[in-house]
Structure 1
């Protein structure tokens, strides 16, 4: 596995590393070093060397630095002289770091040179503006061409046609009140390889602004749609979606229960995040529930649904029985 070092003037590298681990979870063979105002070239080089020596292997190392020609870049470049398999990329931003971690996660055998090549385009593509007319003409055309309708249609395929085995594939079904956000876009989508993300929500399907934000949040190459529950049931029964690999996102367990009862074949639910509302209790640091939520999870369990309690793929799975027991105890105390 390629070791990755982030290096910058001031605390920039520390901040990006913290942001990246919020999206991916704690990372091994991943370090961040900074050049303080009272330090010089030897100091930052020493920090780089110390970080690299802590990696499981020093054969493949990728150094991401803030500024071409700056001290972190110059010292990183000096290290390459005796390590031709290493690579340095400047202009570090969060999309670049996210793509580097994604590449490493999905292809552990990739070399530092291969990852360095792969992260350039996402680093550039991550620079966008609102309104889009503030961007260059070429960038504006690229964004416009990637803006897909939230409607899921197969107009070019005659109704009744059986594509593949005629059954949509669910690579992941996740409960996350934030829906399509950083942890999903940079963690679960690269890990599960869907070709569509489908937000299943009656409420969000009526909100044009949220639907637009969801479309824009989808990574390149993945279509994002928002549909009401009844539409999702139609899609599940449409044989034209037999080659579709979908990642489903739900805001709450109640919506999951409704579609399961309607016949959608979900066997495992990834429980990621449930935001707090008045009357809820905090079952853990990311899951807030009310009595209806707890009862719904129990009903899903009775139906044979399994639970995968993780924010990001690298997290250790939580114990849903323990979480529900704690939530019920807190609700009982709250109702006394």
Structure 2
């Protein structure tokens, strides 16, 4: 039998599993994985691996996930890479899709066969009233998607603008792919990182996580500096830059990338760091780096998502420094 993993932000996976069982009855080999606000990517990956371990070794795995480009998708996609010949991922999970998946397991023994079959059920489950509001078949894609060339450089004359520059240890994930992309309307998401640029798997997963209509790229810091200094042929592209660390952002700015504000989203906790709030962790190098950025006139917008209240970076850094001083 094909094992099914329902993965989501929050407890949506648990709720839709319960709803599916109310309609189709209890199911074997269906596991839920929930990604909670206080967890990081490593914890999420561990949850997924634990769920897979509950299936038999010969079972194929079908991931049904809430959102393309979100953390549950990104971590599942990393595990999927080693099983591309048999496993499958479908995003946009809804109840018609889940019910069709349960029914398909009665006659289909392949995760990929089931995945191909249930996509239509998920789409057909989206209805609207009054019917006159239904989009016409074959409606045009957003203009930004049609206009954006596939390569990072080589567009029509016109400088590139920077709609957002964000420090986020998770890089391209659900909050970026949905909330920030919709808020800032970029045509490009550019991950600026030497470490990621050297990692072919991470590069591949990031480009696959791009939201519809937006191209994602991974470039080393020095390449981003060169692009910023000679961007006359970027076709007026609107770029959302993602930095894994404040140190990477500082190096880019020192090199000439013209950023006046950094959105501070998340900084993962690790040994030697203090965590003055739920999503930001600092060591002394981090604090010193923010001081250097501030000295260069960079301001900080501390928000996970656009609707959050603005955090006070000075207060957060002072609290982090006090905690580090106590440790020392």
Structure number with bigger Rg: 1
- 1:262-309 CA distances to partner (integer Å, 9 max, x unpaired)? 111101100000001211111211001110100111111111111000
In structure 2, the residue matched to 1:304 is 297
In structure 1, the residue matched to 2:219 is 227
CA distance in 2, matches of 1:290, 1:322: 15
SS at match of 2:257: coil
CA distance in 2, matches of 1:320, 1:264: 22
Distance change (3 Å), C-alpha of 1:209 and 1:93: closer
CA distance in 2, matches of 1:185, 1:123: 17
CA distance in 1, matches of 2:238, 2:253: 18
Distance change (3 Å), C-alpha of 1:189 and 1:229: same
- 1:173-203 CA distances to partner (integer Å, 9 max, x unpaired)? 0000000011111111111100000000000
SS at match of 1:188: helix
CA distance in 2, matches of 1:93, 1:227: 28
Q: Is the 8 A contact 1:150 1:215 kept in 2?
A: no
Alignment gaps of 5+ in structure 1: 1-11, 21-32, 37-65, 71-91, 99-120, 140-145
TM-score, scaled to structure 2: 0.58
CA RMSD of aligned residues (A): 3.9
Distance change (3 Å), C-alpha of 1:133 and 1:263: farther
CA distance in 2, matches of 1:201, 1:323: 25
CA distance in 2, matches of 1:131, 1:203: 34
Distance change (3 Å), C-alpha of 1:248 and 1:333: same
Distance change (3 Å), C-alpha of 1:132 and 1:235: farther
Q: 1:16 deviation in Å?
A: 6.7
Pairing 1:183–2:175 present: yes
Q: Is the 8 A contact 1:150 1:224 kept in 2?
A: no
CA distance in 2, matches of 1:271, 1:297: 11
2:161 aligns with one of 158, 169, 178: 169
CA distance in 2, matches of 1:136, 1:311: 35
Alignment gaps of 5+ in structure 2: 1-5, 24-63, 71-90, 99-109, 120-144
1:207 aligns with one of 199, 214, 220: 199
Q: Is the 8 A contact 2:167 2:262 kept in 1?
A: yes
Pairwise mapping of residues 69-80 of structure 1 onto structure 2 (< 5 A)?
none
Distance change (3 Å), C-alpha of 1:131 and 1:170: farther
In structure 2, the residue matched to 1:193 is 185
Distance change (3 Å), C-alpha of 1:132 and 1:163: farther
